[in-house]
Structure 1
Amino acid sequence: MALYQDVIGQLPILKTYNHGSLGFPVPDESARDSLVQALQAAADKIAASFPWLAGAVAHEGVAPGNSGLFRPIPWPATATAPNKILHVRYCDDVAPSFDDILAAGAPVSMLDGKLLAPYDGFPTRYAESPQTPAPVIATQATFIRGGVILTFCSQHNMIDATGMFQIINMFATALNGEAFTPQAIESGNRDRASVIPLLAPGEPAKDLQHLKLAHPLTFPLPLPPSTPGKKPTWAYFRLFRAAVPAIKAKASERDGYDPAVPFLSSNDALSAFYWKCLSSVRLRNGRSAETVSKFSRAIDARRVMGVPQEYLGHMVFHSATRMALGVVAAAPLSTLACALRRDLNEANTVLAVRSYATLIANEPDKARVLYGGGRGDPDVDVGASAVPQSDAAGVPYGPLGVPAFGRRPNLAPILGCLYFMPPEGGEMMVSVCLREDDLEGLRRHPEWSRITEFIG
């Protein structure tokens, strides 16, 4: 299985799990056993076509000055129990009913990760042992009164967010009784060593020294301070689709527009709009106008590297845009959107991605390589990721039908995080992690509240 050893997924900070949850109504409790059988058959079908997904993740070669390497291995014989991709839990008496969750809009506060997820999520790292290995993927079906919530987990060194949504799509395919496409099988089992060619010694490289630390990160990472009214909190907003064209038009206005930027995406415009609104809130909540805010954006490097979307490995690079909070709050939306697009274009190149992979490969202690676009301060920064192209929440899952909602369960805080989630009922779901006072300020911001509905 050495061919599955990832290159840019080797950062120790990724020794954790990605998560996504889908909620389905199940009004008839007598249907539970047959649903579990269907889910188990789907898991078995995935394991047969992608055998490495049924294995474990080994973290080997750790030594002073060397963070070791992560690679998938067959499920160890030392494990106290065989691996099972599917876990089943019954939480009728300890979780809200499905109807209550749905009536409230499925807020993250009602989706307890300790109940719904078999493993902790980013940024909380796990500890494995020969007796309790870390699986590559796991799925938990949590039955509650009137429904079931499927939570998908993927080990983050092995699989990025795009890969996790591909695995969710695999479950939909299998539950629908369909075959995996040849491209999905080939790409999902692809030799990772050939995906991002490393630069040869002396070959020109992009300067990425700003991603290097003088001293390695130590784990666990310190949690942000939790003072009264400032506790980091996850929440969802529903962003109205009808508002997006107007936001993009505003971001495209000539005043403040950089003529060197030929194109703006809707994501550029929405990211700039969020940054501008949040910066004004943060200023009102006591930050200095001179404080520099970093807006980092996760880039899926599959397209620029000519890799199919069905590839499961880690392909995330980041762009970073930095401006003072006062400048962000006062600048025309077009100026911010152009700056975000310009920095993303500069980062999203074959040379940049190959330079990043080479930087990681050549550094023995990969805890010295920063994830997320370089140094920053989560109290004033934004770390953004977008997967709106996924249709995971809008397709049928065999006997379960179409999910009523898609969310990330309530897990450890990632202060400053922003997720543009797949659409739900035609509207975009936006997940944020902010200080309580910043979240309340954003809820009440006249521009942000005009285009969103707070879910919580």
Structure 2
Amino acid sequence: MMGRISRFSTDREGFLCSISQPSIFNMPDTVLEIFGQPPLNIYTQICLCYSMDKARRSEIVHILQSGLVRLTESFPWIAGQVVRDDTSGLFKITTLGKTPRLVVKDVTDTALPMEQLKNVQFPFRMMHETDLAPRSTIPGLFSESEHNPVFLLQATYIDGGLLLTFLGHHQAIDGTGLAQIVSLLSKACNGEPFTEEEKIMGNMERDNIVPLFSEIERLRYGDLYEKLKHQIVPKYTPTTSENPPSCSWRYFIFSGDSLSKLKQLASQNLTTGIPFVSTDDSLTAFVWQAVSRARLQRLEKNTKTTIGRAINVRPCLGIRNTYPGMITNMAYSNNTLSELVDAPLGHVASNLRSKLDSEELKQNTRALATLINDNLGTPITSPTATMDMSSDIALSSWAQQNFYALDFGLGLGLPESVRRPEFTPVESLMYFLPKTKKGDVALAICLREEDMEALRKDGEMMKYATFIE
């Protein structure tokens, strides 16, 4: 079945929007899984950058719209919206449009050409969400509509290039889920059939996918409020400064060779009981130490520092990675700044690895789900509930996601780069972006200006990384 663009209209200056026809069917409502119930309403964005010539533009839109039609035929919920049920108070996916919305924008006359973007390695400062995305990451800044769609995308044309930005509603789709949905769209655009597993996992009932504790399991685990207090928002939060620090987003690129060296270095000093550490563990440990060294210029040595890593807990719960919903928990490690920066890299990486015990993650995740379920009327949890972002770190790794392998049948080859569009600065928020075909990983990092300046002057950091201005 071939899709078509129903009509075009100008949305904001510079926008040419393809707007799907109103829905002609009513899909069944889908109640979100327990981790989608705390109200968040933010969007995860990822941008894939392709080289192309101007002659392909109309063909590109047709291929993408046709792919969206095929995707929605097999996964109707992907064209829905996230709403709160008036009766139950639960968040659910309900009907919105015939397909996810595709927004088209031409910034050829105002944006840097693709060749120059490549030369400067696609920095944050030249790839802002206001240009590349139809709505903001943080709610309330800008949006293409008053609805909260599950999934949408924007095709942005620049001189010599196409920038494809995909957005997923974070209550319905986590980072792993977004990678799965975008992969399915690439298959659809290529005319490839979906596997039975993809269709089954993609359309599973969500509300009971994470089993809550029984009464006996509650007793065995212990007091939920005590054991999970680090994820419970304090009733009385400290007064924030009237003059928050000026923060910015930047990239540091770690080559495949640097990553191999860091893993080798970390593997030389593993602690007892830890047989191995991954490249992700090693890089996380290295970044945590480097940022902490930078912060010692303004913080006392005995200052506590915590790192929270977003963890895909599907494997721990027996859920396949092809499930596209919201199945994420956090793993926390802490230390003092002085002890952290003085420790061998392998000791820090070992500590991070020790927090990834599958059975422990399973129990902690089910405990958190139970706690959230107990407080649906008045949500009390947050991944960064008790974190101090002036000294702590919240990190999410997308390094293993396959975005660099996706071509969407556009005839443009594979992406030249995969980036997170620049959005509102959030101090100490960090991402490892998808690994390139060469094995390079970009660290997307947001720090206050004095910390960023100290980090880019840190000799050990710059021994392994390249700073992107």
Which TM-score applies when normalising by structure 1?
A: 0.89
1:383/1:416 contact within 8 Å kept = yes
What is the aligned partner in structure 1 of residue 345 from structure 2? 333
CA distance in 2, matches of 1:196, 1:327: 37
Task: Tell me what 1:79 maps to.
Answer: none
How much identity, in percent, do the aligned residues show?
Answer: 29
Residues 384-403 of structure 1 aligned to structure 2 (within 5 Å):
384-399=395-410, 400-403=412-415
Change (3 A) 1:224 1:90: farther
Q: What's 1:367 paired with?
A: 379
Where do residues 55-454 of structure 1 align in structure 2 (5 Å cutoff)? Answer: 55-61=80-86, 68-75=89-96, 84-121=100-137, 124-126=138-140, 132-203=146-217, 204-205=220-221, 207-215=227-235, 225-227=243-245, 231-254=246-269, 257-284=270-297, 286-345=298-357, 348-372=360-384, 374-399=385-410, 400-426=412-438, 427-454=440-467
Structure 1 residue identity aligned to 2:233: L
Contact (CA 8 Å) 1:91, 1:143: kept in 2 or not?
Answer: yes
Say if 2:44 is the partner of 1:23.
no
Choose 193-202 or 274-283, whichever is displaced more.
193-202
| Contact in 2 for aligned 1:216/1:367 (Cα 8 Å) | no
d(CA) in 2 for partners of 1:25, 1:40: 20
Q: 1:382 to 1:281 in 2, by over 3 A?
A: same
- d(CA) in 1 for partners of 2:418 and 2:349? 28
User: What CA distance in whole angstroms lies between the structure 1 residues aligned with 2:241 and 2:170?
Assistant: 20
Distance in 1, matches of 2:378 and 2:329, equals 15
- Match 1:32 to one of 57, 62, 65: 57
CA displacement, residues 168-208 of structure 1 (integer Å, 9 cap, x when unaligned): 11222122221121111111111112321111234233632
Give the distance between the partners of 1:89 and 1:395, measured in 2 at CA: 21
Q: 1:281 to 1:210 in 2, by over 3 A?
A: closer
State how far apart, in whole Å, the 1-side matches of 2:32 and 2:271 are.
41
Q: Deviations 1:266-293 (Å, cap 9, x if unpaired)? A: 2111111111111111102x11111111
Instruction: Quote the Cα distance in structure 2 between the aligned partners of 1:438 and 1:247.
Output: 22
Moved more, 199-208 or 299-308: 199-208
Change (3 A) 1:222 1:35: farther
- Structure 2 counterpart of 1:31, which letter? R
Distance 1:150 1:198, change over 3 A: same
Q: Look up the SS of the partner of 2:418 in the other structure.
A: strand
Judged with a 3 Å threshold, the aligned counterparts in structure 2 of structure 1 residues 289 and 366 are, in CA distance, closer, same or farther, namely: farther
Displacement, 1:261?
Answer: 2.2
Question: What is the one-letter code of the residue matched to 1:241?
Answer: G
8 Å Cα contact 1:299/1:348 also seen in 2: no
TM-superposed deviation, 1:359 = 0.8
Higher RCO (C-alpha under 8 Å, 6+ residues apart)? 1
Q: Is the 8 A contact 1:117 1:151 kept in 2?
A: yes
C-alpha separation in 1, matches of 2:241 and 2:199: 40
Give the 3-state SS of the residue equivalent to 1:419 in structure 2.
strand
Change (3 A) 1:232 1:348: farther
2:35 matched to which residue of 1? Answer: 8
The 1:332/1:224 distance shift into structure 2, 3 A limit, reads farther
What CA distance in whole angstroms lies between the structure 2 residues aligned with 1:84 and 1:392?
19
| Aligned mates of 2:237, 2:415 — CA distance in 1 | 39
* 1:142 CA drift (Å): 0.8
* Structure 1 residues 223 and 98: CA distance shift in structure 2, 3 A: farther
Q: Return the letter of the residue paired with 1:289.
A: K
TM-score, with length taken from structure 2 = 0.86
SS at 1:271's partner residue?
Answer: helix
Report deviation, 1:61: 4.7
Q: How many Å apart are 1:128 and its aligned residue? A: 11
Label 1:38 to 1:239 Cα distance change in 2 as closer, same or farther (>3 A). Answer: same
- The one-letter amino acid paired with 1:151 is T
Greater CA drift, 105-114 or 2-11: 2-11
Residue identity matched to 2:193: A
1:119 & 1:303 partners in 2: Cα distance?
32
SS in 2 for 1:298: strand
Render the CA deviation track for 1:305-351: whole Å, top value 9, x for unaligned.
11111101101100111111111111121221121112232785321
Matched length? 433
Name the CA distance, whole Å, in 1 between partners of 2:120 and 2:379.
Answer: 41
Q: Which letter does structure 2 place at the counterpart of 1:433?
A: C
Specify every segment of 5 or more residues in structure 1 that has no aligned partner in the other structure, as ranges: 77-81
Q: Does 1:43 align with 2:68?
A: yes
Larger mean Cα displacement after TM superposition, 163-172 or 17-26: 163-172
